[in-house]
Amino acid sequence: MKRNVSFLTGFFTIVVAGLVLAGFFLAVVFGAQTYRDIVAGQTENDQTRALLSYLTTCARANDAEGAVEIIYEHGAPVLVITGDDSGYCLRIYHQDGCLVEDYGRAGTELNPSAAQIIGETGSFQVEEVTENTYAVTTDAGRVLFHVRSVVAVESMEAAADGWE
């Protein structure tokens, strides 16, 4: 009788300890998986914002007539954004699985070694969808930007002609 009581007590203790340990391990595993997924999602969001919003910000910061141009180097597209009359421009292109930009003299060769990485992408395509509207496609999606200054200049010229 005494042995049975001792056995039951010991068994009960082991079962409770086992449940506590199992619950602890499950919580740790579930928590770690959740944390990993959240970090992956945050990284993906940051990548999307970096790749897409940066391009429109670049274009808007240098919004001027003739500021945006698409050229091809070794068959790959390069987005050239000229901000002023200095003769230097921003060149955005795809290099070694990344979207990079370098700042160099217009018309010269690209300088990938001095380029700054914007984000990781396996693809990069640029096209002019309509007049003064460009679409850039990367792994993160497609972004549109419109050069507004050309329209403003044309409107001002039309208004000036009307006054004359």
Partner 1 sequence: MAGNDSGGRDKNRKLHSTAFYIEALVLAAVFVIVILVLTKVFALSRQMSAGARLLTCAVHLAENTAEAVSASDSPQALYELLDEDGNAQIYQKTLTQDFPFPDYVYPDSEWECSKVLAWYDGEMNPAPEGVFLVDITWLPEEENGAGSGRNVGLARCFIAVYWNGEPVYTLETAVYRRQGL
CB of 32 to partner 1, least distance (A): 10
Residue labelled with tokens 């997924």:
37
CB of 88 to partner 1, least distance (A): 26
User: In 3D, which of 139, 26, 128, 29 has the Cα closest to residue 69?
Assistant: 128
Nearer to partner 1 among residue 98 and residue 147 (C-beta): 147
Residue labelled with tokens 């018309």:
107
Applying CB under 8 A, which residues contact partner 1?
A: 5, 9, 12-13, 16, 19-20, 23, 26-27, 30-31, 34, 37-38, 41-42, 44-45, 48-49, 52-53, 56, 129-130, 132-133, 141-146, 148, 151, 154-155, 158
For 96, residues 6+ apart whose C-beta sits below 8 A from its C-beta are 112
**CA dist., res. 88 & res. 16, Å (int):** 73
CB of 120 to partner 1, least distance (A): 16
